[in-house]
Amino acid sequence: MAACNPNKKKTGKSEHKIKALTTDGTLIEVDQSSVHHAHHKPASPTEAREGIPGMQFVMVIDLSKCRNARKCVTNCQKMHSLAPEDEWIKVFLMQDSHDTAPYWFPKPCFHCNQPPCVKVCPVGATYKRTDGLVLVDNERCIGCKFCMTACPYSSRVFQWKEPEENKSREGEYSPEKSTPHQIGTVGKCDFCPDHARKGELPPCVRGCPNGVIFFGNKSEDIVTNGTETFRFSQLVYDRSGYHFMAELGTQPNVYYLPPVERLFDYKKGFDNLTEEQKEFYKNSIVKKH
């Protein structure tokens, strides 16, 4: 956690400001030189299996802000050394009915409280932690793909080939950082708990230029996108937050805010795409009804 140094003397010079979250959930700006970070050791195998005490991770995605900038996708791929074709966060073009305009829909793993994937894994490679996360231990995974079949959200990716690069995070393998990958195993969005142990937001949250993704601790009733901070319960109550495909009973830890009063026309999401990506989206609008 970050802490301010009250004994820091003012120099009169302009200093770089950073944002910090106080213990009562207030987002403040402080001088970078006034902050020190506690030393965080990597999680032990037991800690990586059990979870972070006092945490109940939750994500809120504001669909009214998304314009398919895809920074959440590329930041995730860079952090986890994923090939361009392997996306742990996918952005779909959704349409509720033929009478309504499409909207962009980022979809990570939902880290369900009733995860079908965990129930079918024959070797315990996929497991649920006390902090709400569902992780994959590549050292246990045998590549049977039962979890991929069981997941109703298609949130998992099979590692068909050796990763192009595994230097994004050094040190021994841990399910908390999901690297280095192993060929013939399954990977997915992990909410980056190794970053959370250092008091950092996941790269997908930090990279989004429009503040679409909020992340936080449900136990403390706080979520933030790095710029704005809200009480989780108030945000989902006031904005009518909902679970995607709630009728399945999986009880996800990802909530969506409806795409009302959108900041962008959905067509802006095509601006920086390749011709191949444009054709994909034009031919694959996901219709709810």
- Would you give per-residue pLDDT tens digits along the chain (289 residues)? 343 443 444 444 445 555 555 545 566 665 645 444 444 567 888 889 999 999 999 999 999 999 999 999 999 999 888 888 899 999 999 998 888 899 999 999 999 999 999 999 999 999 999 999 999 999 999 999 999 999 999 999 999 887 766 544 455 778 898 777 788 999 999 999 999 999 999 999 999 999 999 999 999 999 999 999 999 999 999 999 999 999 999 999 999 999 999 888 888 999 988 898 888 888 778 876 5
Q: Domain check: are 172 and 267 in the same one?
A: yes
Task: Report whether 81 contacts 276 (CB < 8 A).
Answer: no
What is the length of the chain?
A: 289
Same domain, 165 and 210: yes
Q: What is the pLDDT of residue 161?
A: 82
Q: Could you tell me if 274 and 161 lie in one domain?
A: yes
Check whether residue 33 and residue 54 sit in a common domain.
no
For residue 255, the cross-strand partners are 60
Could you tell me if 97 and 143 lie in one domain? yes
Asked if 256 and 126 sit in the same domain, the reply is yes
Q: Give yes or no: residues 55 and 14 share one domain.
A: no
Q: Is residue 149 within 8 Å of 141, Cβ to Cβ?
A: no
Q: Do 62 and 30 lie in a common domain?
A: no
Whether residue 216 is found in the same domain as residue 261: yes
On whether both 264 and 171 belong to a single domain, the answer is yes
- What is the C-alpha separation between 206 and 18, in angstroms, rounded? 13
CATH number of 74's domain: 3.30.70.20
CA distance 279 to 113: 36
How many domains does the structure of the chain reveal? 2
Tokens 């314009």 found at: 67
Domain span at residue 22?
2-37
- pTM metric for this prediction: 0.84
Are residues 204 and 91 in contact, defined by beta-carbon separation less than 8 angstroms? no
DSSP assigned state of 268 = G
Helix, strand, coil proportions of the chain in percent (round to 5)? 20, 20, 55
Q: 180 preceded by cis ω (within 30°)?
A: yes
* Whether residue 151 sits in one domain with residue 128: yes
- Check whether residue 23 and residue 73 sit in a common domain: no
